[in-house]
Amino acid sequence: MSQLVDLVPFDPDNEVHVKELTRQRILCGWHTDMVETWRAKARKGDKGLRWIFRAKTPEALERFKEPLPEQEICSLSRELGPPSPDPDFRPIGHASLDWVDEIDGVKELELADRERGIITFSTFFMLVSQHGLGLGNAVMDELERLAGPPAFGAKFITLNTMDRDYATDPEVWKMLPGGYDPKRRINEDWYARRGYKAFRRAIPRYQETGVDGSSLLLNAVYMRKEVIAA
């Protein structure tokens, strides 16, 4: 069990949960239009969305000395985002384990297939104020534990992230808002250190708008890891 974070199931029929998810997707800057789709998938059991909360353990209380800010900064624009809809409900992010992954309505069975025990990690977002606190590994530890029995009972956990060849190419980042930052963390490398292996590359997947207003499709890499039963 993590000493830093607690994961709480998302309730697709709870108004506060829905409003907070909408707020956090605005803060993220991606998939702001997917909340209703995710609610439907959660009801069907295809999307196992979890809220990320600060734990109440001594270790967590020591780590989280600063209270959460009243307003959070948007990840992409760095502007102040919308306030929390409920001051008593303050998750610091969310992530999901999904039995279904689709691109343009076509299922990606390499990433998610309930019959074969393949579940995919997706929809990972942390508030900007919580970056740099070492929480990514804590969240992944909890999700990987949940992926196995008895919670989900998966045999493999997969994920998709930006292909390293794209993430390290300054020419690609010239086309994107924010530009190239050599200090930017390479997600593929981070997941590799956690034991995930790339099994498919150069998959056109991420829609993005370039600095000139053009429509871009960035490449993903697919990675997987065997679920180790606790």
Q: Tell me the percentage of the chain whose pLDDT exceeds 90.
A: 64
Q: Find where tokens 């609610």 sit.
A: 39
pLDDT tens track for 193-228: 999 999 999 999 988 787 778 888 889 999 999 998
Instruction: Give 212-217's long-range contacts (Cβ < 8 A, gap of 24+).
Output: 212/175, 214/175, 216/175, 216/176
How many C-beta neighbours within 10 Å does residue 39 have?
19
Least confident piece of the model among 36-40, 48-52, 78-82, 137-141: 78-82
As to burial, measured by CB atoms within 10 angstroms (0-12 exposed, 13-18 middle, 19+ buried), residue 67 is exposed
Q: What is the pLDDT of residue 182?
A: 53
Q: Tell me which of 7-11, 57-61, 91-95, 141-145 is least confident.
A: 57-61
Residue-level pLDDT at 176: 75
How far, in Å, CA of 117 to CA of 134, rounded? 30
Model pLDDT for residues 114-152, shown as the tens digit of each residue: 999 999 999 999 999 998 888 999 999 999 999 999 999
The count of residues in the chain is 230
The pLDDT value recorded for residue 10 is 99
Record the pTM. Answer: 0.90
Amino acid at 150: P
Cα–Cα distance between 149 and 119 in angstroms, integer?
A: 12
Helices and strands (H and E) in the chain: how many? 7, 9
- pLDDT over threshold 70, residue 21: yes
Element (H, E) at 194: none
Q: Is the predicted pLDDT of residue 86 greater than 90, yes or no?
A: yes
Interacting residues of 194 by C-beta distance below 8 A, sequence separation 6+: 137, 140, 225
Q: What's the token pair of residue 47?
A: 């999307």
Q: What is the mean pLDDT of the chain?
A: 90
CA atoms within 13 A on the CB side of 42: 21
Domains recognised in the chain with CATH numbers? 1-98+120-147 (3.40.630), 161-230 (no CATH)
Spatial distance between the Cα atoms of 163 and 160, rounded to a whole number of angstroms: 9
Mean per-residue pLDDT, 40-48: 98
Using pLDDT thresholds of 50, 70 and 90, give the confidence band for residue 179: low
Residue 17 has pLDDT above 90, yes or no: yes
